[in-house]
Structure 1
């Protein structure tokens, strides 16, 4: 990716938004690492938000316990990645909208708890647009609707540059979650927006989410 670095700040807080359709996990992971490197080389490199979907894949956080897998990773053909993000195992699949914000928190707040709560707030405000109440649960990260976890969050921050992010279950096939204990939480079910809003589409959420993200993080979004 070409580095666009300029000290000319004609926008107060620009954030470049890139929408992709379905991207293999390994490819998107490499994109994130390249963007983080660009940030580290240039303080004025703009914030970015990548919105995409993945083919079916399981990912583990840096300290994830493989006991939360309900399959043998050495024998099963499921794709499995161990990443540098926080959190336990999760599942990605089509019609789950994944957001990877690559932000310089030195231009926001150098506070990881604040950043996690901001990501939750984006989802909560988005759900409110659709007439749904998104809840936080004390001691846990993510967003729930009527006791079902609809959004998972796992991040990595390197010298205040963020990567990884959130996964919102819009209208996916949830059966892949049966092969894991999602996020290591065995007593609370995973859900999707479609369980409450049968007509919801990923295309609609893709359209609405950037404006909410802009409002929560006080950014001006620029579509790429």
Structure 2
């Protein structure tokens, strides 16, 4: 993972721990803007967790909230990704790939299926069989949705991404209809593998992402909170 492989695009890898949603969101926007202005800027994979927060896609309806969005007990963000409402909390591994799809395949459906494949391969070493459901984006295990995916693509540059429920408190999902799907439960990997940790899944996910996207991941030696000159 440390040494770039021939014929693979370089992608900068950041591990960030628990980061407030608005900070990670602003950082994604800044990298997208930089890549639009300077196409040579490296692609990025940002892996982190968020404090409890609900996010709504740009066209999402509030009818899938089981609370008043004006209630200040809940942090709610409407963002530019596709999809309905979802929930983030510690114990959930969130991945934000910022890629220029012109160097991969400029096809949104292809990209969504690739992200699903990354998750499926990442959980396979734990003996878990991830499944797709026709017409529904995401990954399921034994009928439980364990990974949500929502993206935004502008000039073929991606942002937002995927969220894998490793071992979060699932209680927060009771306040919403996750992804607008009423008849399929949300689950976590910990339901099937007690004691599983985010760091374990992150290790497998990094390997899976590199394989599926055919990239060489270059671990950053600093936090993304520091303006990363190394991206250029």
Give the TM bin, normalised by the shorter chain. Answer: over 0.9
More RCO (CA 8 Å, sep 6+)? 2
1:213 alignment partner in structure 2: 209
State the aligned residue count: 216
* Alignment partners' CA distance in 1, 2:153 and 2:71: 33
SS of the equivalent of 2:140 reads: strand
SS of the equivalent of 1:133 reads: coil
The answer to whether residue 169 in structure 2 is matched with residue 173 in structure 1 is yes
1:131 pairs with one of 101, 115, 127: 127
RMSD: 1.2
- Stretches of 4+ aligned residues off by more than 4 angstroms: none
The answer to whether residue 178 in structure 2 is matched with residue 182 in structure 1 is yes
Contact kept, 8 Å, 2:8 with 2:214, in 1: the verdict is no
The answer to whether residue 54 in structure 2 is matched with residue 68 in structure 1 is no
Task: Mark the runs of 5 or more structure 1 residues left unpaired by the alignment.
Answer: 1-9
Contact kept, 8 Å, 2:11 with 2:215, in 1: the verdict is yes
What is the Cα deviation at residue 76 of structure 1? Answer: 4.2
Match runs of 1:61-100 below 5 Å:
61-100=57-96
1:198 pairs with one of 170, 190, 194: 194
1:122 alignment partner in structure 2: 118
What is the Cα deviation at residue 199 of structure 1? Answer: 2.2
Q: Relative to structure 2, which stretch is displaced further, 178-187 or 41-50? A: 41-50
What is the Cα deviation at residue 128 of structure 1? Answer: 1.1
* Alignment partners' CA distance in 2, 1:132 and 1:211: 16
* Alignment partners' CA distance in 1, 2:141 and 2:123: 9
* Alignment partners' CA distance in 2, 1:94 and 1:75: 21
2:153 alignment partner in structure 1: 157
Q: TM-score, normalised by structure 2?
A: 0.91
1:6 alignment partner in structure 2: none
* Alignment partners' CA distance in 1, 2:24 and 2:63: 26
2:28 pairs with one of 32, 43, 48: 32
Q: TM-score, normalised by structure 1?
A: 0.94
Contact kept, 8 Å, 2:123 with 2:201, in 1: the verdict is no
